[in-house]
Chain A
Amino acid sequence: MSEAAMEYPSRARTKKYFTGAVLLFVFQLILGILMGIEFVSRDVSLLPFTFDIYKSLHLNVMILWLLLGFVGGVYYLLPAEVGRDIRYPKLIDVQFWFMLLAGIGIIVSELFFTGRNWWLVEGREYVEAGRFWDILLTLGLLTVVLNIVATVLGGKRKMSAPMLVLCWGAVGSVLMYVPGEIWFNSLVAAEYFRWWVVHYWVEATFELIAAGVMALVLLSMTDVRRKMIEKYLAIEVALILLTGIIGQGHHYYWIGTPGFWLFLGGLFSALEPVPLFLMVWSAYKDLKENKKPVANSVALYMIIGASLGNLLGAGVWGFIHTLPQVNFFTHGTQVTASHAHFATPGTYLFLVLGMAYIAVPAPSGRTTFPQSRGKLGFWLLVLGFLNMIIALLAAGIVQVYLQRIQGVSFMDVQNMLLPFYGWRMIGGAIVLAGGLVIAFDMLMLGRNKGQDID
């Protein structure tokens, strides 16, 4: 066991969060491939389940592993920052198994109860898990909040700014799951609050987690002064919230809400890339200052990948279709799919993987480990997602022109998009290869040192 793990024994318990997250990620990739097959075949009898089931699982499994990764990340980073171990270490294990069981429940419900019971499958994008699972998962996550708060209150040191941001993000993520669980008669109101879950996750609370984790990881890996790393943090956070909270308006253009959202949403979401640019800029400056050789370069790859993916995927790809004049045509087309497949993996996948490459090897007693496998996985993911993003963007542009401007029928357009969907599948296969490499690497790194051959 390394020193850090000896000092805070609960750290060893967080390992399974990351292994679980990576394995669920591979499962999500397989689901994505199955959806790709549905897109190019359009045959309901080819695969055992239909498209909607794969799609909802694709999203719900992602949410599950993101939550696992973030909770694990907070549990891993918190002790060293407040100078004491997690208050209830046993809860870390219990919560992991609870979340995993809830996840299995969601998967089984999706597969066998879709259309049968609204409490088990709700069928709304991103919050497809039925009300029962929503409430169960929220209660479980509230115990995570309890554990974090109890640890912070009993801490020896005052919490540093990045840790505070990270904790805000984690607590906010749990709270933001609730608005999606309120019933409204009106579709407009229901959609209005469904976007509170999705948008305030990806563009507020998860973004805070990203800012906090990036600062803390750079602090632990480099010799750059704390003051320098934290220099831009407050302004980043303020800008993320300032643009993100009202930037919500870009989801309110066409759902039956008043027209003033076109102005507000356009204005504020056009500013959303600014804090993301700041994040990249500050990371760049920090790394330029750094004199210490970084031993764990895979983790650094992932973290830099996350900051760049955030700027390009969420910032630039978001910006190209966020203005209402553009979104009027692109809304509900493959352009959005391209953006989603850039922003989410680009930011949060690499963030969780970066955390995993820090949190998994160390408690297993590895201070150094071979980097080549992790790097191979990273580049395969980048290459695969690049294929997918470009294919979907091209498909989206064609779809906008034909369907929204020329009035060609949906199915005719889909037939014309088949080559792009084929290309997207090839990208998906490369991503799956990368995911498998990373998962294998993670399982190897997670073994205890005694079992090692090398």
Chain B
Amino acid sequence: MNRYRLMLIGLLIPTLLMIPYSVISFYTDFANKNPDPLSVTVEFRGKSYDAVEGKKAFEQYQCMGCHTIVGNGAYFAPDLTRAYKRFGENDAALAGFMLSGTPAKGMPPMSGRGMGDEDAYRVVAFLKYTDRLDTNGWPGEGSWDRDGSPDSAGAKKLIGADIWQIILGILLFNLMVFAVILNYERGKEDAGRRKHE
């Protein structure tokens, strides 16, 4: 077969298949699988905030820079998909947590980034929406991410009596790999010299 035709087929067949798959994905998202983000709202001081405003605030404050949402993002902080459930569906507790942060565990207070009550409740609405997403069962039953409660453990520091053992082990590992590399380069030099002679 002509190779250009082969490459073109490789491009076109899956691309054409992606169209119906995407259409079905969107249809189910809107039709029955997931809630409409505009209809998920929380009330604060008589005003209501919806999950669409919340999504924008969630992006703006870069929550995904430390946390994950539906498992995507950074792994520095817990997944937020079911955070609303973990907080017992308590809007005020979740908003308060966001604003004050937990500096001892690495979360800065969001109020320091200019987040006010309104934005906090917007993000709460967004997390209420993500909690209702049908994520095909993820995270699994029994995992902390689904069934846990707010984390009471404090952060430890990486300094302890056994740190020298760890450092020694790592050093040994690196020396071993380095010996292999050195041996390889030496062997190549020798082979080159032999070829020269």
Contacts and interface: CB of A to CB of B under 8 A. Distances in A.
Interface in A220-259: 230, 233-235, 237-242, 244-246, 248, 251-259
Nearest to B71: A332
Contact of A379 (B70, B139, B181): B181
B190 to A, nearest CB: 15
B70 A191 contact: yes
Interface in B1-31: 3-4, 6-7, 9-11, 13-15, 17-18, 21-22, 24-26, 28-30
Interface stretch (B41-49, B88-96, B170-178): B170-178
Contact of B3 (A114, A234, A259, A423): A234
A116 B114 contact: yes
A413 B77 CA distance: 11
Interface residues of A, number: 98
Contacts of A332: 68, 71-73, 75, 79, 139, 145
A45 to B, nearest CB: 7
Interface residues of B, number: 94
Contacts of B73: 125, 332
Contact of A237 (B7, B52, B115, B181): B7
B61 A114 contact: yes
Contact of B129 (A187, A190, A251, A418): A187
B14 A245 contact: yes
A404 interface: yes
B63 A258 contact: no
Contact of B108 (A50, A55, A251, A414): A50
Interface of B: 3-4, 6-7, 9-11, 13-15, 17-18, 21-22, 24-26, 28-30, 33-34, 37-38, 52, 55-56, 58-66, 68-79, 101, 103-108, 110, 113-115, 126, 129-130, 133-140, 142-145, 147-148, 151-158, 163, 166-167, 170, 173-174, 177-178, 181, 185
Interface of A: 35, 38-45, 50-53, 55-56, 114-118, 121-125, 128, 161, 164-165, 185-192, 194, 230, 233-235, 237-242, 244-246, 248, 251-262, 264, 328-329, 331-334, 336-337, 375, 379, 382-383, 386-387, 403-405, 407-415, 418-419, 421-423, 426, 430
